[in-house]
Structure 1
Amino acid sequence: MLSLLRRISALFQWNKKSEEAPEEQPQDISNLQSVHGVVTSLCANYGWINKSIFFHTDVVCDNMPVRIGVNVIALVEEDETTQVLNAIKVKIMNNPLDCKDPSKLGKRFCIKYVTHVMQDNIYVSNGVSFPIHLFSGAFRPFKGDLVLVAYSMITGTSYINIDSVRPLSFQNMQRACITRLDGRTGVVEHCMMFTLDSLHTLSGYTPALYDVVNVIAVDSIQLPYSWRVVSMIPADMLY
């Protein structure tokens, strides 16, 4: 009975969502820039980085608490109409390895998005590529995924050496509902897309509309969505 009520609720919510405008997303992801900065002001649900970059607190990765003075890396776009700089993702760098001045340790960080994946190499924004074995995620990256790149500059040159690459952040969602299915792609809870071409799931299981599932998702630019499901397990099925 509970499962039936959940599916009816999901159908109602989907019909409501379909009448609403899609979530605002960057129009040209090639213009996104990775910026180091410090949170300089903060209100209830928004703030500013370096006094000039606006952000909503809901774009902060991993639901980390934000405070003035914290060091961050932001993925930034410029509004074409107002020329205001907006952060679409903010990563708080409070790990000892992610020190206030990473260059002093010879290591720097930036946010990149995956442009395409070849058999042995991953290509990211600004024409940078790296061998797939440097990627620490337990899945194969997909076009649009956001990654945190640790790199160092090669002394005396303008070239960089990529040390490691990992997903920007993860999100776990238990007992979520598949709210849309279109061929080999679908959507979970109206906000996380998935494609069967890159989805990890149980052998023999094929996602179906209104299935209740447990999922793991990563930050990814999949217009109009900003999350991609990488792992999906049916919550009400035993294999």
Structure 2
Amino acid sequence: MGATTSRPSCSCCSCFPDCGARRFLRMLGGVVCICPCNGRSVERDQTHLEGEPNSKVVKGTVTSCGTDYGWIEDCVFFSRDAVIGAMPLHAGDKVLAFVEEDPVLHELKATEVCPFTEKELQEGINSKIQDLSVCVSNVNQNIIYIADEYYFFLDSISKAILGFMPYEGDWLDIEYSVEQGSSKIAVHSVKATQRLRLEEVCVTSIHRREGMLNHTIFFTLDSLCLPLGYTPVVGHVVSVVIVQSIKPNYNWRAISMTPVVRPVEGAGPGNPSSLLFLYQ
């Protein structure tokens, strides 16, 4: 079964806040939940999702919200009619969502969004889910090994929400459940333990495929997001996004880098030469 563009929901059920949250949370734990709504039954479990390779249940935070639409983690779009419940969502609300990836455009869209509270988690609705801050011990293609004991597969939707490809030594905060009798874990949310943006730092060294910023932040060209056509050189001044990552003598890794430009005297809309690249 391929990815679908719409799903039946419990939006007509008088008890939708509890019903919707419980259904989503039990799905994350791998437990089938059948929720009667207006004479219909909605049944979702991990088996159904495995048949839809471009779909995933994710947990996240609403980062912006307009009258008729909003964004989860700044990268998952949802429309008003996808929200289960009458109460409007606001920035900062915690939600569970069915997220689908457009196989051509690789854009993420939530087809169903349900708010929930941490209290619901604490009351054991989804007691199988655990959270952990952990260091990546190895990466083999899209398989991420953590703590030399467990591993998980980073699918395209989770990678898009995370915003970068993990690297050995990176610290991640994950919510997961353990697959019984296996060292493989099912990850339900993942983010960098610490993530910062720095303006105007200097490339201080490059050796083969690795380099340093301000002598304190390391990067690898194999895992660094760069503007098309740009290659960093020693002395360039750049803006970077960094994550907490452990390497001998260093605690931060740059995951993206953009050269800094500044307007100079005589700048004007029709004068492209009026931009001064700080690395030139």
What is the TM-score with the length of structure 1 in the denominator?
Answer: 0.52
2:182 & 2:221 partners in 1: Cα distance?
42
Shift of 1:221: 0.6
Counterpart contact for 1:102–1:108, Cα < 8 Å: no
Of 100, 108, 130, the residue aligned with 2:152 is: 130
Give 1 or 2 for the bigger CA radius of gyration: 2
1:191 pairs with 2:240: no
Alignment-derived partner of residue 265 in structure 2 = none
1:131 & 1:163 partners in 2: Cα distance?
11
Alignment-derived partner of residue 214 in structure 1 = 239
1:132-182: per-residue Cα shift (whole Å, max 9, x none)? 114431221111111111023679999964322221121100011112222
1:117 pairs with 2:139: yes
Aligned amino acid, residue 138 of structure 2: H
Structure 1 segments unaligned to the other structure (5+ residues): 1-94
Aligned amino acid, residue 223 of structure 1: P
Structure 2 segments unaligned to the other structure (5+ residues): 1-93, 95-115, 262-276
Query: Which shows bigger deviation, 217-226 or 150-159?
Result: 150-159
Shift of 1:98: 6.0
Alignment-derived partner of residue 24 in structure 1 = none
1:39-90: per-residue Cα shift (whole Å, max 9, x none)? xxxxxxxxxxxxxxxxxxxxxxxxxxxxxxxxxxxxxxxxxxxxxxxxxxxx
Alignment-derived partner of residue 192 in structure 2 = 167
What is the TM-score with the length of structure 2 in the denominator?
Answer: 0.45
1:178 pairs with 2:200: no
Aligned amino acid, residue 180 of structure 1: S
> What's the C-alpha RMSD, in Å, of the aligned pairs?
3.1
Shift of 1:122: 1.2
Counterpart contact for 1:102–1:109, Cα < 8 Å: no
Shift of 1:112: 1.2
Q: Percent identity?
A: 31
2:245 & 2:123 partners in 1: Cα distance?
27
SS at match of 2:243: strand
Of 134, 139, 145, the residue aligned with 2:164 is: 139
1:204 pairs with 2:229: yes
Aligned amino acid, residue 199 of structure 1: L
Change (3 A) 1:158 1:217: closer
Change (3 A) 1:211 1:110: same
Alignment-derived partner of residue 259 in structure 2 = 234
- Counting only pairs closer than 5 Å after superposition, residues 1-239 of structure 1 correspond to structure 2 as 102=122, 104=124, 105-106=126-127, 107-133=129-155, 134-135=158-159, 136-152=161-177, 161-236=186-261, 237=277
1:175 & 1:188 partners in 2: Cα distance?
10
Aligned residues: 144
2:244 & 2:172 partners in 1: Cα distance?
8
Aligned amino acid, residue 238 of structure 2: V
Structure with greater contact order relative to length (CA < 8 Å, sep ≥ 6): 1
